[in-house]
Amino acid sequence: MSRRILVVGATGKQGRALISHLSTSASTSSESFQILALTRNPSSQAAQSLTLINQSISLIKGDLNDPSSIRKIFESRGKRSIYGVFVALQFPGLGANADAELIQGITIADLANEFQVQRFIFSSLERGSESYDQHLTLDRASKRDIERHIISLPSLPWTILRPGFFMENLSGTLGRITTSVLVAGLNPSTQIPLVAVDDIGRVSSQILTSSSPKYTHAKIPIISSLRTPSQMLQSHLSATSTPQPSIPLFLARLLIYLNTHTKNLYVLPFPYFLISLFPGSVHLSIRWTRLTSG
Ligand SMILES: NC(=O)c1ccc[n+]([C@@H]2O[C@H](COP(=O)([O-])OP(=O)(O)OC[C@H]3O[C@@H](n4cnc5c(N)ncnc54)[C@H](OP(=O)(O)O)[C@@H]3O)[C@@H](O)[C@H]2O)c1
* Domain contains 127: yes
Q: What distances in angstroms separate CA 224 from CA 24, 121, 164, 286, one per listed residue?
A: 21, 19, 8, 8
d(CA 84, ligand 1 centre) in Å? 18
* Domain contains 146: yes
pLDDT the model gives residue 263: 65
* Tens digits of residue pLDDT in 192-226: 999 999 999 999 999 999 999 999 999 999 999 99
Classify 59 in phi/psi space as left (phi over 0), alpha (psi -120 to 50) or beta: beta
Residue 38 Cβ < 6 Å to ligand 1: yes
For the chain, the domain total comes to 1
pLDDT the model gives residue 123: 98
Cα–Cα dist 113/101, whole Å = 18
* Domain contains 236: no
* Tens digits of residue pLDDT in 21-62: 999 987 777 778 999 999 999 999 999 999 999 999 999 999
pLDDT the model gives residue 281: 34
Domain around 283: 3-166+196-224+278-293
* Domain contains 256: no
Residue 139 Cβ < 6 Å to ligand 1: yes
Identify which of 104, 208, 216 has the alpha carbon closest to the alpha carbon of residue 155.
Answer: 216
* Tens digits of residue pLDDT in 255-291: 988 887 776 554 333 333 333 333 333 333 333 333 3
What residue owns the CA closest to ligand 1's atom 25? 9
* Domain contains 171: no
* Domain contains 179: no
Going by the DSSP 8-state scheme, the letter that residue 245 receives in this structure is: P
* Domain contains 45: yes
pLDDT the model gives residue 105: 98
Mean pLDDT of the chain: 89
d(CA 165, ligand 1 centre) in Å? 14
Q: Which residue among 39, 90, 126 is best mutated to probe the pocket of ligand 1, counting the most ligand atoms within 8 A of its Cβ?
A: 90
Cα–Cα dist 77/83, whole Å = 11
pLDDT at 294 over 60: no
CB-based burial, 114-141: b 16+ in 10 Å, e otherwise: ebebbbbbbbbbbbbeeeebeebebbbb
Give the CATH number for residue 97: 3.40.50.720
Q: Are 163 and 116 in contact (CB under 8 A)?
A: no
* Domain contains 172: no
